[in-house]
């Protein structure tokens, strides 16, 4: 794969963050109100003190906002739009396949053979029923290969997991690899696609560059929201 093709993959991933993740993240931050939190008054005061060394309204607001906006909110948003990320990235990773159930076809940079790949997002993003679906798609491909005389070997049919590490693969993926086909995960998958062992790390790092490139100073938005919630806490006389 050429450097230009690799840059196209990176740019497509950055576009996903630029147009979907960042706007949704800021939107979720802006709409937060004190009533949106289920507050344990004993725990939140402890957490405020643990985080900031005191239980002032600003500290309590930080103890509420940080876990929500840096954890729950962004994880939910990312999960809701995972398929869009998959589509963005694989659009440049190989040729879209015309075979039912196969997302892309590409020439493996490691063994030089054409691979028929079903793409999944992460190491825990399939369920029990997906195993049968994946297996059925590859059985269909095997039948087509026999009928059309396609030179497809068993290891030419793969599941490509876009992010994560092999050690994180769920039992569902392990069963697929045991009974159906190889599963390439994270850096391993992207090395097979691009031939670049470091490409996965280039890709993941690039997503963090989106905020810098677009001039989004999230710290300002975060500080404003913390002050807003702190004022709500003052008006209530504390928590």
Prediction pTM value: 0.80
- pLDDT confidence of residue 87: 81
The whole-number mean pLDDT for each consecutive block of 10 residues of the chain, a chain of 239 residues, reads 89 91 91 92 94 96 94 83 82 83 91 93 88 90 88 92 93 92 95 94 89 78 94 90
CB 169 within 8 A of CB 123: yes
Strand ranges, E, within 21-134: 95-96, 104-107, 114-120
Cβ contacts of 11 within 8 Å, gap of 6 or more: none
Strand partners, 33: none
Cα dist from 177 to 155, 160, 189, 214, whole Å = 10, 11, 14, 41
SS3 225: helix
Separation CA 204–CA 206 (nearest Å):
5
- pLDDT confidence of residue 37: 93
CB 106 within 8 A of CB 193: yes
Tokens found for residue 108: 């493996």
- pLDDT confidence of residue 214: 65
Cβ contacts of 186 within 8 Å, gap of 6 or more: 123, 161, 162, 163, 164, 165, 166, 200
């Amino acid at each position: 794969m050429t450097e230009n093709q690799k840059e196209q993959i990176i740019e497509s991933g950055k576009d996903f963050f630029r147009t979907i993740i960042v706007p949704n993240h800021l939107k979720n931050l802006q709409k937060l109100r004190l009533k949106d939190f289920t507050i344990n008054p004993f725990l939140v005061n402890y957490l405020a003190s643990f985080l900031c060394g005191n239980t002032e309204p600003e500290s309590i607001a930080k103890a509420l906002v940080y876990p929500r906006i840096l954890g729950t909110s962004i994880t939910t948003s990312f999960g809701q739009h995972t398929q869009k990320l998959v589509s963005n990235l694989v659009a440049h990773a190989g040729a879209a396949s015309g075979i039912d159930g196969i997302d892309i076809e590409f020439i493996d940079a490691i063994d030089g053979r054409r691979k028929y790949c079903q793409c999944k997002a992460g190491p825990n993003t399939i369920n029990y029923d997906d195993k049968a679906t994946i297996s059925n798609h590859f059985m269909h491909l095997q039948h087509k290969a026999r009928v059309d005389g396609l030179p497809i070997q068993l290891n030419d049919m793969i599941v490509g997991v876009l992010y994560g590490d092999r050690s994180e693969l769920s039992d569902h993926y392990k069963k697929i690899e045991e009974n159906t086909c190889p599963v390439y995960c994270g850096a391993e998958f992207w090395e097979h696609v691009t031939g670049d062992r470091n490409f996965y790390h280039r890709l993941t790092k690039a997503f963090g560059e989106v905020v810098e490139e677009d001039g989004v100073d999230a710290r300002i938005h975060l500080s404003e929201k913390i002050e807003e919630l702190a004022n709500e806490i003052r008006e209530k006389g504390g928590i």
